[in-house]
Amino acid sequence: MVSEEFADYAKRYAKCAIISGMPKPPPHASVTVSAHFMHDMLAFMQSRHGDSAASAVMTEAGIPLALLAQPDARITRAQFVALYKSVAAKLDDEMLGLWSRPIRGGTLKYLMLSLLDAPSILIALNRFVRFWNLLLDDYRLHMSRRNEWVRIALLKRTADAPMRQLGHELMMKLVHGVASWLLGREITVLRVELAFPRPRHADDYVFLYPSEVIFDAGESSILLADRDCASSFKRERHQLWSFLKRAPEDWTFSSPNSGSISARSREYLERRMHLSPAIGDLAAAFHLSVRTLNRKFAEEGVHFQMVKDAVRRDIAIHRLTHSDTAVSTLALDLGFANPAAFCRAFKEWTGSTPTAYRKGARPA
């Protein structure tokens, strides 16, 4: 029953709001995302303008060209945003060629202007749906409401409508990001459903969707808490310009799912990586036994070392891209016994040495 699902979500949300007395962490600026997103952003440009155009926008975004040949590579959030902006400008398409017709530059601005005077989030979302249904040919948005949730689904207009995974990912993110900005805080998401199988990069969704994510759904959709959608809001035009200037950053990335033990662990580890924390330290901070903590990790399909290595990888990529920290210093800061061990691990994570990655991520 929906009411039981909602009650369970509310219970988990409240419980995770207080994490063992730990202070609220800063935004996860060091988080990286799978190069899958990069490849999908470049796909239409490569088919329309060729590999040279794709290389040019990658260089402009500070992404090493060598990453094109590395399926398990990672890019930083800043690189993601810069690449999105570059591709959108080159194509004059704010949705990167993912839909059957171009979404011309300025579309997001006029969409947001049409929402500012709505008396509630619900009415703003209704306008959002109607706006997009004027633009999309192959899909349409449909909004429905029940006692405790509002659902916005992406429906095919024709049986043969192409299914571009990134398009579905971004449309669900845009619903969430726009509603959150209007409300002035992250709107409560009860569930995200995606109409494709679980991808290899699914672990990245914890930093995209602050909720449970279900794959192989009949249609992609997002369920928002009705209590938030019924809320009024007040936003002025001058506040909109900053949101638009930063786009797509403010509507793409969100706080990690607070119900995820992996995300909570990242918050702890990011602050203490220089101390080389062990699983016992983490368990003690969460007031859990090591056995219970391992069980919770297993329920999410991960384990402690996997989470710890992901944090190390992301911090390393971020600092190599944004600072001149020596590789030897970075290895020590991340708890490696020596620089050689760090270099071996980094090459396993990215397919590149730290020095080569830094050189490729910096303008010549």
Per-residue model confidence as pLDDT tens for the chain (364 residues): 344 444 443 344 333 333 322 233 344 446 788 889 999 999 999 999 999 999 999 999 988 887 887 777 888 888 899 999 999 999 999 999 999 999 999 999 999 999 999 999 999 999 999 999 999 999 999 999 998 999 999 999 999 999 999 999 999 999 999 999 999 999 999 999 999 999 988 888 877 888 889 999 999 999 999 999 999 999 999 999 999 998 998 888 765 555 678 878 888 888 888 888 999 999 999 999 999 999 988 887 789 998 898 889 889 988 888 888 999 999 999 989 899 999 999 988 877 889 888 876 655 4
Distances (CA, A) of 53 to 41, 85, 198, 209, 363: 12, 14, 30, 31, 17
CA distance 117 to 113: 8
Q: Is 214 helix (H, G, I), strand (E, B) or coil?
A: strand
Answer whether the bond into residue 248 is a cis peptide, omega within 30°: yes
Neighbours of 217 (CB within 10 A): 16
DSSP symbols for 254-315? ----TT-HHHHHHHHHHHHGGG---HHHHHHHTT--HHHHHHHHHHTT--HHHHHHHHHHHH
**Six-digit token string for 68:** 């094109």
Query: At residue 223, what are phi and psi to the nearest 5 degrees?
Result: -110, 120
Rg of the Cα atoms in the chain? 21
How distant, in Å, are the alpha carbons of 21, 203, 230, 314 from that of 13?
Answer: 16, 20, 19, 26
pTM (2 decimals)? 0.77
- What does the chain come to in residues? 364
Contact in structure between 68 and 58 (CB atoms under 8 Å): yes
Q: End-to-end distance of the chain based on CA atoms, in angstroms?
A: 58
**Ranges in the chain annotated CATH 1.10.10.60:** 261-361
- For residue 61, give the nearest of 80, 74, 42 by alpha carbon: 80
CB 83 within 8 A of CB 248: no
Neighbours of 18 (CB within 10 A): 8
What fold does the segment set 261-361 form as a domain? Arc Repressor Mutant, subunit A (1.10.10)
